[in-house]
Amino acid sequence: MNYQASHTRYQQMEYRRCGHSGLKLPAVSLGLWHNFGDSTLIDNSRQLLRRAFDLGITHFDLANNYGPPPGSAERNFGQLLKADFAPWRDELIISSKAGYTMWEGPYGDWGSRKYLVSSLNQSLKRMGLEYVDIFYHHRPDPETPLEETMGALDHLVRQGKALYVGLSNYPPELARQAFAILRDLGTPCLIHQPKYSMFEREPENGLLDTLKQNGVGCIAFSPLAGGLLTDRYLAGIPEDSRAAGASKFLNPEQITPQTLERIRRLNDVAQRRGQKLSQMALAWVLRDELVTSVLIGASKVAQIEDAAGMLAMRQFSNDERAEIEAILNA
Task: Give the per-residue pLDDT at 235.
Answer: 77
Contacts of 118 (CB under 8 A, 6+ apart): 107
Residue closest to 328 by CA, chosen among 281, 271, 279: 281
Write the Ramachandran bin of 73: left for phi over 0, alpha for psi from -120 to 50, otherwise beta: alpha
Indicate whether 329 belongs to any domain. no
Provide the CB-side half-sphere exposure for 247 (13 A, CA): 16
Provide the CB-side half-sphere exposure for 89 (13 A, CA): 15
Indicate whether 139 belongs to any domain. yes
SS3 137: strand
Backbone dihedral angles phi then psi of residue 60, each to the nearest 5 degrees: -115, 120
Q: What's the rounded Cα separation, in Å, for the pair 315 and 147?
A: 41
End-to-end CA distance of the chain: 52
Indicate whether 263 belongs to any domain. no
CATH of the domain at 184: 3.20.20.100
Provide the CB-side half-sphere exposure for 294 (13 A, CA): 30
Task: Give the per-residue pLDDT at 243.
Answer: 57
Indicate whether 277 belongs to any domain. no
CA dihedral 227, 229, 234, 240 (to 10 degrees): 0
Q: What's the rounded Cα separation, in Å, for the pair 317 and 107?
A: 51
The total number of structural domains in the chain stands at 1
Output the tens digit of pLDDT for each of the chain's 330 residues. Answer: 699 999 999 999 999 999 999 999 999 999 999 889 998 999 999 999 999 999 999 999 999 999 999 999 999 999 999 999 999 999 999 999 999 999 999 999 999 999 999 999 999 999 999 999 999 999 999 999 999 999 999 999 999 999 999 999 999 999 999 999 999 999 999 999 999 999 999 999 999 999 999 999 999 999 999 999 999 988 767 665 555 555 555 666 678 899 999 999 999 999 999 999 999 999 999 998 999 999 999 999 999 999 999 999 999 999 999 999 999 998
Residue closest to 123 by CA, chosen among 78, 164, 91, 87: 78
Residue closest to 93 by CA, chosen among 156, 31, 160, 155: 31
Alpha helices, DSSP H, located in the chain: 42-54, 72-80, 113-127, 146-158, 172-185, 207-214, 257-273, 277-285, 301-309, 318-328
Which structural domain range is residue 135 located in? 15-227+285-315
Backbone dihedral angles phi then psi of residue 140, each to the nearest 5 degrees: -65, 150
Indicate whether 250 belongs to any domain. no
Contacts of 300 (CB under 8 A, 6+ apart): 48
Q: What's the rounded Cα separation, in Å, for the pair 153 and 190?
A: 12
Dihedral sign for Cα 23, 295, 248, 264, please.
positive
Indicate whether 39 belongs to any domain. yes
Contacts of 141 (CB under 8 A, 6+ apart): 99, 110, 111, 112, 149
3-class SS letters over 240-303: CCCCCCCECCECHHHCCHHHHHHHHHHHHHHHHHCCCHHHHHHHHHCCCCCCCEEEECCCCHHH
Indicate whether 159 belongs to any domain. yes
Task: Give the per-residue pLDDT at 234.
Answer: 87
CB atoms within 10 A of CB 153: 29
Indicate whether 124 belongs to any domain. yes
Task: Give the per-residue pLDDT at 251.
Answer: 61
